[in-house]
Amino acid sequence: MIKINNKYEKFKYRVNDLNNNNISAKFSFRNPNFYFDIELNIPVSGITAVFGQSGAGKTTLLRCIAGLEKIAGGQLKFGEQQWQSADQFLPVHQRPIGYVFQESALFEHLNVLENLNYGRKRAHSGVNQEEFERIVELMGISQLLSNNAALLSGGEKQRVAIARALMMKPEILLMDEPLASLDRKRKQEVMEYLENLHRELSIPILYVSHSVEEVTRLATYIVVLERGKIVKHGDIKRVLSDHILQDMMADEPFTLLFGQVISACNEYCLTEVKIDGHTIYMPRQNVSDEQLIRLHLNARDISITLQKPQQTSVLNVFECQVIEIGDATGNGQCMVRLSLNNTELLAKISDYSRVILNLRPAQKVFAQIKAVSVVQ
């Protein structure tokens, strides 16, 4: 995990406190190939993911909010600020936003410091040296300042691009698939910095992505789009409890768990996480004690038994209650929703197993989860 020096602990980055306000947007247009019809109210706090497959309208929505697209009759309000109405359109340079594109869009003939200064000069209220150093440290680019932008790796370029956007001192950061062009290792690297950025600066982020992994790791709120319309939006945990929606989002059904680290590394090199009063063991993670983390658990990695095993290599065995049993699919499998206190788990088993176990709603069962199958 990336550690941040606490000498800036009292430093406040945000220009205005907008946590209790919303973005209210209404846009509609039609062309021969696409019908875009959006009306939503989302919080200006945390990380809001705009999720959807290619062609869903994610980038169009982001460009409308940024002011890069002007749709006739559109309505847009940011907190108490009216950005667009029937007789008003605030140009993009007057909106307090930072924009990060899929490609870094750095000036490759300049070095990193010169790229950052370009953003710094455009800050509405100015960025002092302390603020500058804070942003540089948060994005881990202090050793890159004299490097030519053209010679940076893909992950480094995106970190510099994010830092440059922050230098403009925005009240909201708009990110359009910022990790799409990176390989898996670089994505993981940049996601760690994004998590730190959210924790340390509390700047609201509107994050466009078609990656379930990015959304489940980063987002606190989600807007799901399909063919230019909103399918659903709300708190990430509530939205992802809709398993029909999950089928649209991911190839494999999964459960997203929210927990707190009890031990980052116990004597057996396992990380222990408290989930709703229960302890889950998983391979050692790059986390710290008491840290709040999320766990991704694929439905296929949960097995069900009627009696608690007395001797088993499976470390995670929990008493649950069956909530619902789905119909068998064409490949002979079915989904079982389980209740673990106030937490729901989703298990994928064969329909034959369902018959053998004679599973039924309200039945007490035990869910078994291998430690190696739990993913942060």
CA distance 156 to 162: 10
CA distance 335 to 242: 13
* Contact of 304 with 345, CB cutoff 8 Å: no
Query: Alpha-carbon torsion 285, 290, 294, 299, what sign?
Result: positive
* Contact of 245 with 216, CB cutoff 8 Å: no
Hey, how many other C-beta atoms are within 10 angstroms of the C-beta on 336?
25
* Contact of 246 with 326, CB cutoff 8 Å: no
* Contact of 162 with 119, CB cutoff 8 Å: no
292 and 238 housed in the same domain: no
CATH of the domain at 67: 3.40.50.300
Q: Which residues contact 194 (CB under 8 A, 6 or more apart)?
A: 47, 162, 205, 218
**Of 226, 251, 276, which closes a domain?**
251
Domain encompassing residue 89: 6-251
Per-residue pLDDT of the chain (376 residues; tens, 9 = 90+): 444 444 444 344 444 444 457 899 999 999 888 899 999 998 888 899 999 888 899 999 999 999 999 999 999 999 889 999 989 999 998 999 999 988 778 888 999 999 998 888 887 777 788 888 988 998 999 999 999 999 999 899 999 999 999 998 888 999 999 888 888 888 888 888 888 888 788 788 999 998 888 888 889 999 999 999 999 899 988 887 776 666 666 667 888 888 999 999 999 999 999 998 899 998 998 888 998 888 888 889 999 999 999 888 999 999 999 999 988 877 888 889 999 988 889 999 999 999 999 999 999 999 999 887 777 7
**Of 233, 251, 269, which closes a domain?**
251
Residue 1 domain-assigned (yes or no)? no
Identify residue 301 by its one-letter amino acid code: D
Whole-model pTM? 0.82
